[in-house]
Amino acid sequence: MLIKGDRIRQKRIIEGFDYVGTVFDVTQITPDGMIVFSHRYLGTGLMSHDEFINHFTKTKWTDWAAMRDCTGEFQYRTDGKRVVVRRNGISACSSCHALDEFNLQKGILLSLARLRVKEIKAAM
């Protein structure tokens, strides 16, 4: 079941809509069951529940896991395309291009670099 705020990923090509691997935000479920979704660069779309079942999947995040790097312990989670890291109330995210193969270690390293920038800015 989808609700407003869920994230969905296109898994199959729809004629004229080839964004396989792209993640969209569900912005509304209409009273008649139509799904309104959007992407910050691609705009807004509308589809039926059957189209969702056949061409999209709901993204699922892993539970938070702990790791350690040279600056201390942090937590991370992933949905198979994005990685979020957090430490001391500050978080940062990295995402994989739709055409790239997901690599968790690269995602963690990029997210950590972004996290360190935020940590330094917060300390100033």
Spatial separation of the C-alpha atoms in residues 102 and 81, rounded to whole Å? 6
Mean pLDDT estimate for the chain: 91
What is the per-residue pLDDT for 56?
A: 93
Spatial separation of the C-alpha atoms in residues 44 and 56, rounded to whole Å? 15
Residue 2 lies in a domain: no
What is the per-residue pLDDT for 5?
A: 85
Quick one: average pLDDT of 71-94?
92
Could you read off the pLDDT of 93-123 as tens digits, one per residue? 998 876 778 899 999 999 999 999 999 999 9
- Shared domain check, 47 and 21: yes
Around 96, how many Cα atoms within 13 Å sit in the side-chain half-sphere? 20
Residue 1 lies in a domain: no
The whole domain housing 70 covers 65-123
Quick one: average pLDDT of 11-27?
89
Nearest Cα to Cα of residue 93 among 118, 111, 68: 111
Instruction: Domain count for the chain, please give it.
Output: 2
Q: Is the pLDDT of residue 17 over 90?
A: no
Tell me the CA end-to-end span of the chain in Å, nearest whole number: 44
What is the per-residue pLDDT for 6?
A: 87
Which amino acid would we find at residue 81?
Answer: K
- Shared domain check, 92 and 46: no
What is the per-residue pLDDT for 84?
A: 95
- Shared domain check, 73 and 111: yes
Quick one: average pLDDT of 81-94?
93
- Shared domain check, 117 and 80: yes
Quick one: average pLDDT of 60-82?
90
Residue 80 lies in a domain: yes
- Shared domain check, 75 and 119: yes
Give bridge partners of residue 76 from the DSSP assignment. Answer: 65, 85
- Shared domain check, 74 and 39: no
- Shared domain check, 91 and 46: no
What is the per-residue pLDDT for 112?
A: 96
